[in-house]
Structure 1
Amino acid sequence: MKIAIVGYGKMGKLIKKTIEESKDMECVGVASPEESKDLTDLPSDFDAIIDFSHPDNLSGILSYVEKNPKAVVIATTGFTEEQIRSIEALSQKVPVVYTANFSLGVTVFQQVLKQITPILRDTFDIEIIEKHHRLKLDAPSGTAKMLLSAIDENNEREKVYGREGNSKRKEEIGIHSIRGGTIVGEHTVLFTGDDEVFEITHQAHSKQIFANGAVVAAKFAVKQEPGLYDMNDVLFGKR
């Protein structure tokens, strides 16, 4: 299986290394817009694209895949609503795996939340806390939004992003972002009830977990029909 990578920052380098260490995968090259090198500069005989770069690079990927259909794995975050609609449109033509977090553990985290939230939501307050390194641009993180969606699938509760001032808690979910140091990523969901607290935390200790997940997703994508998939589909086969 042959892979083209878009982006050659820390994650691009790590994905390339992961592919090179694999026995059944090959990296045909890296499209790095920062170095004025795009997908058209790479050999065309590859199976999938892994994008772990910047939202500004999406248009180049869309343009290339329109003319050269390939499976696409999109691990970039921070897209606008318009860009997300473009990704959805692309998935009508080719298989696309798009999610904010490719960690296998976070994917299981979502499934756990979907099971326990209906049991606890009427008697427990719910808060989400996410922590990342000082250089992360978007807040709250894409992963926090994924966890929020798993908790409140029908968007029934008010969302409070941080707190300030004087007001009583309502039927709401609090989302809090912390930025500092070199924290790779930590996400906690708190269920706080009367006289008890139930807490679930996922910690990323290195970016390798995201590279591993993206490679697993690429192997999945090349076998699929056109459609929009996420890591829940990759691991659990659910749509």
Structure 2
Amino acid sequence: MIDIILSGANGRMGQVLQTMISQQSEMQIVAGIDRDVFEADFPTYQTITACQINADVVIDFSHYSAVPAVLDYCADRKLPVVIATTGLTNDIQEQMKSAATQTAVFFSANMSLGINLLAKAIREITPVLEEEFNIEIVEKHHNQKKDAPSGTALLLADAVNDAVQTEKTYVYGRHGNDLENPLSELGIHAVRGGTIPGEHTVIYAGPDEVIELNHLALSRNIFASGAVKAAKYISKKTIGLYDMEKLIDES
């Protein structure tokens, strides 16, 4: 049995994870962390430092401001952790690398298997199109999402830059009356509205032809499913920084 501490347990994704983990025969939540008090079938705490319950792995789907305390907690206890929270600052990303010298840390800007396969596809096709095609990314999310652009849009943009010979400059939205839109720029555009779970489109626009790679999330279940897979995977590791690409390659 894999015992899980769920950080952000009462949030949108936390509630989805509660349901999904309850359906897993080999996993259980032994404690929940959330800044808002809530009732559950397991002990709950408002801060992770207040939790003294033994576990095999932490899944964090909270807010970026809560992640440093989670990383410190897991590093101190040599406890594997899945960081599924987005909008992380550079300082927090550096802290993740430091924590990974003490325990196993799994991080992906998007827990969807499909998104991470899309990133692999981007690395394959981008070198062929780099010289003639503009590359733009459009992402859409619900109107409650706090960060823009999404971590997934940046993950996909980074996949482009991993594959090009000349690194592209990110442009966040476009406005003005005298734009040149050179091939050296990669535009990232954010749309917020309604209850859109998440949609990402990578556009390759060249002379007389356009290629679009699109991923549409129909529910939050895909992110919860990825986090569950990540927890099973990382619970067997002791140290190091892991991501969805490593999970895919080892599956």
TM superposition score normalised by structure 2? 0.90
2:25 to 16, 23, 47: 23
SS in 2 for 1:45: coil
The reply to whether residue 226 of structure 1 matches residue 239 of structure 2 is: yes
The reply to whether residue 161 of structure 1 matches residue 162 of structure 2 is: no
Match of 2:195 in 1: 182
Of the structure 1 ranges 207-216 and 147-156, higher mean CA displacement relative to structure 2 is found in 147-156
The reply to whether residue 4 of structure 1 matches residue 5 of structure 2 is: yes
1:102 to 102, 108, 111: 111
SS in 2 for 1:137: coil
2:219 to 199, 206, 212: 206
Letter in 1 for 2:196: I
Match of 2:77 in 1: 68
What is the CA deviation profile of residues 202-233 of structure 1, one whole-angstrom value per residue up to 9, with x for unaligned ones? Answer: 00010010000000001110112311111111
Match of 2:120 in 1: 111
Of the structure 1 ranges 212-221 and 64-73, higher mean CA displacement relative to structure 2 is found in 64-73
Match of 1:236 in 2: 249
SS in 2 for 1:215: helix
Of the structure 1 ranges 33-42 and 86-95, higher mean CA displacement relative to structure 2 is found in 33-42
Runs of 4+ in 1 over 4 A off after TM superposition: 40-43
Distance 1:142 1:136, change over 3 A: same
The reply to whether residue 46 of structure 1 matches residue 55 of structure 2 is: yes
Letter in 2 for 1:228: L
Given that 1:28 and 1:42 are in contact with CA atoms closer than 8 Å, whether structure 2 keeps it comes out as: no
Gaps of at least 5 residues in structure 2 are 38-44
Given that 2:105 and 2:242 are in contact with CA atoms closer than 8 Å, whether structure 1 keeps it comes out as: yes
SS in 2 for 1:2: strand
Distance 1:66 1:193, change over 3 A: closer
SS in 2 for 1:216: helix
Tell me, in whole angstroms, the C-alpha distance in 1 between the residues paired with 2:170 and 2:119.
18
1:196 to 209, 219, 222: 209
Tell me, in whole angstroms, the C-alpha distance in 2 between the residues paired with 1:38 and 1:204.
31
How many residue pairs match? The answer is 238
Tell me, in whole angstroms, the C-alpha distance in 1 between the residues paired with 2:167 and 2:140.
25
Letter in 1 for 2:180: K
Say what the alpha-carbon RMSD is for the aligned residues: 1.6
Tell me, in whole angstroms, the C-alpha distance in 1 between the residues paired with 2:13 and 2:145.
13
Letter in 2 for 1:187: H
Of the structure 1 ranges 146-155 and 180-189, higher mean CA displacement relative to structure 2 is found in 146-155
Given that 2:75 and 2:103 are in contact with CA atoms closer than 8 Å, whether structure 1 keeps it comes out as: no
